[in-house]
Every structure is written in structure tokens, then in C-alpha cells.
Homo-oligomer: A and B are copies of this chain.
Amino acid sequence: MNDRDEIANTLEHALALASEICLRYFRQPLPVDVKPDDTPVTRADREAEAAIRELIGARHPGHAIHGEEHGNTAGAGGTWVIDPIDGTQSFVLGNPLFGCLVGFVRDGVVEAGGLAMPALGETWLATRDAATRRNGEAVHVSGCSVLAEASLLATSPDMFDTAERAAFDAVAARTRYRRFGGDCYAYAMLAGGWSDLVIEAGLKPFDILPLVPIIEQAGGIVSDWGGRPLGLEFDSRVIAAATPELHDEALAVLADSL
């Protein structure tokens, strides 16, 4: 296997490991701890990330790792980004829309990204040399190019501060639908061509970087609210759109409102 195939192979294995651990604990009695940033965490999050880190450590011993639950491990030649359960709140409330996210970043580019939805039986994978695949089948974003026709998704109104919420509402008022809920799956609904626009805030790199190739290799666009590409450092605000025209129109409304 060449290096790219090895990365993709590790990614797929990592998601399978994490999915299995998640399903073992999903809808079972499970203590929930609250982290210093007020977000919930469970044994399932910690075990899933530990299993992924062990796999990466064994197969790519030199690489760096940034994980949500077990922090940063220094390294060279690339950085793995892990969110073992994106949507832990959904997970602990029995909602099937939680996912496992793993991405690989090299020279500032997310070269490969994967999303597993254990309770839905879906795996989404993207590398830079191919179209995004959902359970092996290529997907493509919608052709929606105007806000007036667009559906807008966000996980929760509670993820925005007051100014961000006003800006989000300004965009929402111009769209056809807005819907809350979804966590990482909102971006999959965009990549799948079923929804058109996602605008969120309060995200950390591991929440979104693995989704960047999934969105882009399906033909979509993702950036911060200033239109800048996302990297290991960004300001927590994300906008993803099906087309450049829709992205531009929404960015202009955000800029006017902030």
C-alpha cells in the first residue's frame, strides 16, 4: 500500500473500532461526567478515542494526534484529529444522530476524513483523490445557489453567542427552511445533496476538520464566517454550503449582521 492508501485504511479501521464501542454503550445505563468546558463525556467517548489512538500509534508511530478526550500527542509527518463521539448529548439521550469523526491533516490540508454514524449503519469517507463515499457510494451536494431556495441546518440555537445568533437569524430569515439538531450529521446531509447550508459556531477543530474533505470532495464549500479555509487553528465559526454562490450570499449576510 502507498502512504495515501495506508492513511485511508487506518481511518476506516479507526471508525469501525469506534462504532463498535459506541454501539456497546448506546442506550445502556452510563454515567455522564461534565468536563471543565461544561460538555458531557462518558466512558464510551474515552474508550473509543483510546482505541483509535492505539491503532494510530501502532500503524503510524511518528504522527501527531489531537483528540477531544485525551489531548494532544506531539509528532511529525501529519496530525490525526479525533472526535470519538460528536454529539455526546445526543448519544446519552438515545438520539441516533451521533457520529465518530477521524481526520488526517498534513501541511495544513485535511488529506482524509471519515464519519461513522454507528446507530444509522453509515460510514462516510473522503480522500483528496476521489469523490466522497457514503457506504461506498459516491455522493454529491445539491445545486442550490440561492438562499431563498436553501435549507439551513445548525445543531442548536444555544451554540451561538448573542451577536452570532443575530447573524444566524439574519441568514435563516432569507432561507426556505431552517432546522436544528444533527451535530456532525448536518454536514453529511449537505454532502449527500439533501440539505444546502450549515452555519454553526462554538466548534473545535476535531468537530469539523474530519468533515472538510467529506464536504469538499462531494463538491461543497466550507470555511469560517470570514470565508477563510479551516485549519488546526480557527475561530470556532463554520459555514458550509452546496455551491460557491450560496456560500457567497450567506457570507455577505453574516458580514452585514456582525
Contact = CB atoms under 8 A, between A and B. Distances in A.
Given A181-B180, A181-B182, A194-B27, A151 B120 contact: no
Contacts of A120: 96, 119-120
A109 interface: no
A198 to B, nearest CB: 11
A166 to B, nearest CB: 14
A61 to B, nearest CB: 39
Nearest to A156: B180
Copies in the complex: 2
Contacts of A90: 179
A157 B177 contact: no
Q: Which of A94, A119, A151, A177 has the largest count of B CB atoms less than 10 A from its CB?
A: A94
Contacts of A193: 94
Contacts of A180: 156-157, 180-181
Contact of A179 (B151, B153, B156, B195): B156
A192 interface: yes
A77 to B, nearest CB: 37
A27 B120 CA distance: 15
B181 A89 contact: no
A94 to B, nearest CB: 2
A51 interface: no
B95 A189 contact: yes
Contact of A195 (B93, B119, B158): B93
Interface of A: 27, 40, 89-90, 92-97, 119-120, 151, 153, 156-158, 177-182, 185, 189, 192-195
20 contacts: A27-B194, A40-B177, A89-B177, A89-B179, A93-B153, A93-B177, A93-B179, A94-B192, A94-B194, A95-B97, A95-B179, A95-B195, A96-B97, A96-B120, A97-B97, A119-B120, A120-B120, A156-B180, A157-B180, A158-B178
